[in-house]
Chain A
Amino acid sequence: MNSSFRPLIAVAALALLAGCATTEQATTEEQQTTQDAAAQPGITAQPGQEAYSYGYGQAPGGVDAYDANGSAAGGRPGQAVAGGGSMVPADRIVYFSFDSAEVLPESRTIIEANARKLTGNQRTITQLEGHTDERGSREYNIALGERRANAVRQAMIAMGVAPQQIRIVSYGEERPAATGPDEQSYALNRRVEILY
Chain B
Amino acid sequence: MNPITRLLALLVLLLGSSLTHAQLTIDITKGIEGSGIPIAIAPFSGGAPEDITGIIAADLQRTGKFAPQPAGSRADYSVAGQASSGGSRGYVVQFQLSGAQGGQLLNLSFDAPANQLRAVAHRISDLIYEKLTGDKGLAGTRIAYVAGGGGTWYLVIADADGQNPQTILRSGQPIMSPAWAPDGSKLAYVSFEGRRPQIVVQDVVNGSRRTVSAAPGINGAPSWSPDGQRLAFTLSKDGNPEIYALNLGSQSPVRLTNGGAIDTEPVWLPDGSIVFTSDRGGSPQLYRIGPGGGAAQRLTFDGDYNARPAVSPDGRTIAMVHRRGGRFHIAVLDLQTRRFRVLTAGGLDESPSFAPNGKMIIYSNGQRLMAVSLDGSVKQEFALRGNGRDPVWAPFAR
Whether A138 contacts B347 by the Cβ 8 Å rule is no
Whether A64 contacts B151 by the Cβ 8 Å rule is yes
Interface of A is mostly: loop
Whether B150 contacts A179 by the Cβ 8 Å rule is yes
Q: Give the interface segment out of B63-71, B129-137, B333-341, B365-373.
A: B365-373
B59 on interface, CB distance cutoff 8 Å: no
Across the interface, which residues of B come within 8 angstroms of A81, CB to CB? 151, 172-173
Across the interface, which residues of A come within 8 angstroms of B234, CB to CB? 139, 142-143
Query: With A and B bound together, what is the CA distance between A178 and B150 in angstroms?
Result: 10
Across the interface, which residues of A come within 8 angstroms of B217, CB to CB? 146, 168
B75 on interface, CB distance cutoff 8 Å: no
Please tell me which one of the listed residues B171, B195, B328, B381 contacts residue A135 in the complex, with CB atoms under 8 A apart. Answer: B328
Across the interface, which residues of A come within 8 angstroms of B140, CB to CB? none
Most buried by A among B150, B154, B176: B150
Across the interface, which residues of B come within 8 angstroms of A27, CB to CB? none
Most buried by B among A57, A64, A139: A139
Question: How many residues in B have their beta carbons less than 8 Å from beta carbons of A?
Answer: 65
Across the interface, which residues of A come within 8 angstroms of B81, CB to CB? none
Most buried by B among A31, A42, A54: A42
Interface size range of chain A in the complex = 35 or more
Whether B307 contacts A75 by the Cβ 8 Å rule is no
Q: How far is the CB of B213 from chain A (nearest CB, A)?
A: 14
**CB nearest to A80 among chain B residues:** B195
Across the interface, which residues of A come within 8 angstroms of B172, CB to CB? 57, 74-76, 79, 81
**Known contacts A42-B387, A139-B176: A72-B152 contact under CB 8 Å:** yes
**Known contacts A72-B152, A76-B14, A143-B218: A137-B381 contact under CB 8 Å:** no
Whether A146 contacts B307 by the Cβ 8 Å rule is no
Leading 8 A-B pairs by shortest Cβ distance: A42-B367, A34-B326, A75-B172, A74-B152, A68-B21, A174-B174, A137-B308, A137-B307
* CB<8 Å pairs between A and B, sample of 28: A34-B326, A34-B327, A39-B345, A40-B365, A41-B365, A41-B381, A42-B387, A43-B367, A58-B151, A59-B149, A59-B150, A65-B386, A66-B148, A72-B152, A73-B151, A75-B152, A81-B173, A137-B307, A137-B308, A139-B176, A140-B277, A142-B176, A146-B236, A146-B241, A147-B240, A169-B196, A174-B174, A179-B150
